[in-house]
Chain A
């Protein structure tokens, strides 16, 4: 398998083979992270720009460290302290960064499709670090990486995604990656946040509003935070009621498979979507997801940098 994509914009357009190739590459980068010298010269002399128009801490830090561990130079650009506040368009900002010879631009943006837009006119490689409610490809990849590592496979597993699906780019990227690799996906949460129409997304996706039923056969439970910042109206009465009806508490955990993985992309809201003791419990792989995210982002940067317009060397 030879990766020849110039950008990583979404998981919807990737083949199962390409997804597996990223995961296999990430496995070797995870091993690099366990060495005493955690840095390799794969992107030496390259410039990576973190263009974060929407605020983020964990994804930005993860991408920054990934680029540093590949020996690239990294510039962080955040909307609060930038010319975007002064009325500059995204296109002009990106062109200015390219004029500084940026090789890779990592974009986080509130508008769906913003990375695709940049990729149409930039010579630099573009990585999507989350665009609106559309996709968050590296999060989807790190989630399937974690599942594959813990369960040994993805195919045939029952994966339940519980929470705010409607506003979640993480849910969408997960749905694409999981179904392409042969998992069965159950979406659950309040009806206002989990529309039935998601069943037409991909084969092997089903929607249920019954939590106990959604959790019963799950091999993996991926909990999503309520995206208050994206909701334009009040989608449910109170966080207290959400916690009571849809939160993963010890009573609900007692009824799930004893070896079910508990995942969460973070930041977690303890006592809302997940009980504190479960977040810190033996089934939780939340912190391993963070470790794996670094490896997956190193793999994405490495592969994308080699992609497109370059010849396959003899």
Chain B
């Protein structure tokens, strides 16, 4: 069973609104860098960067961050697949907006903050997520949220976010995510 939370056009409007909220919080357009958390956050960050580029009237740098080595459960599982980390330029003194598809326990974001700081000391770090599904386990809260969705622990949330295609959207499923496909966000 899988229920539609946001269809393709609702997701597009949500991303546009999120971009405006990021712009409003960061009047200094030149200092904003988006960084998508591997893997679900990467496509979202790319979409947000293009929306934000239109709001700012200038391109917004966008990178990717793999948090595997900073996870707190690395000792308790088979080695997760490592994906590319590409931080655009120097983040020293910048405002880095970490981007993920789903905010769940907060553990990925904690790992992401550790991973990010190996690349420098940003002036500010913010967090933007498409879906906040609840069940935080750490004192971490997103700054920009597309939509809050109340879920049970057994459910999983899928954000499909390629390039505005019809198959895009946000889906809520009654079965937990498969272990290899998703790293509990």
Contact = CB atoms under 8 A, between A and B. Distances in A.
Interface of A: 1-4, 21, 24-25, 28-29, 31, 35, 37, 40-42, 302-303, 305-307, 310-314
Contact of B82 (A2, A28, A307, A312): A28
A23 B140 CA distance: 35
B42 to A, nearest CB: 14
B66 to A, nearest CB: 7
Contact of B70 (A4, A31, A41): A41
A279 B114 CA distance: 42
B78 to A, nearest CB: 5
B79 A3 contact: yes
A68 B78 CA distance: 21
A25 B69 CA distance: 12
10 contacts: A1-B81, A2-B78, A3-B79, A28-B85, A31-B84, A41-B114, A42-B74, A302-B82, A306-B74, A312-B180
Given A2-B180, A28-B66, A41-B70, A313 B77 contact: yes
Given A28-B85, A42-B69, A4 B176 contact: no
A21 B81 CA distance: 8
Given A24-B81, A28-B84, 7 more contacts: A2-B180, A28-B83, A29-B82, A306-B80, A307-B79, A310-B78, A313-B77
Decide if the interface of chain A is mainly helix, strand, loop or mixed. Answer: loop
Given A28-B66, A28-B85, A313 B118 contact: no
A310 B118 contact: no
A149 to B, nearest CB: 14
Contacts of B85: 28, 31
Given A28-B85, A35-B119, A313 B79 contact: no
B77 A303 contact: no
A35 B77 CA distance: 27
Contacts of B84: 28, 31
B181 to A, nearest CB: 11
Contacts of B82: 24-25, 28-29, 302
Interface of B: 66, 68-70, 73-74, 76-85, 114, 118-119, 176-177, 179-180, 184
Complex A-B, nearest 10 residue pairs according to Cβ-Cβ distance, in ascending order: A306-B79, A313-B77, A40-B69, A28-B82, A42-B69, A306-B78, A37-B118, A312-B179, A303-B79, A314-B179
A314 B69 contact: no
B66 A310 contact: no
A309 to B, nearest CB: 10
A2 B74 CA distance: 14
A25 B73 CA distance: 19
A41 B69 contact: yes
Nearest to A305: B79
A50 to B, nearest CB: 21
A236 B84 CA distance: 49
Given A37-B118, A41-B70, A25 B81 contact: yes
Nearest to B85: A31
A216 to B, nearest CB: 38
A302 B81 CA distance: 10
A187 B106 CA distance: 55
Contacts of B81: 1-2, 21, 24-25
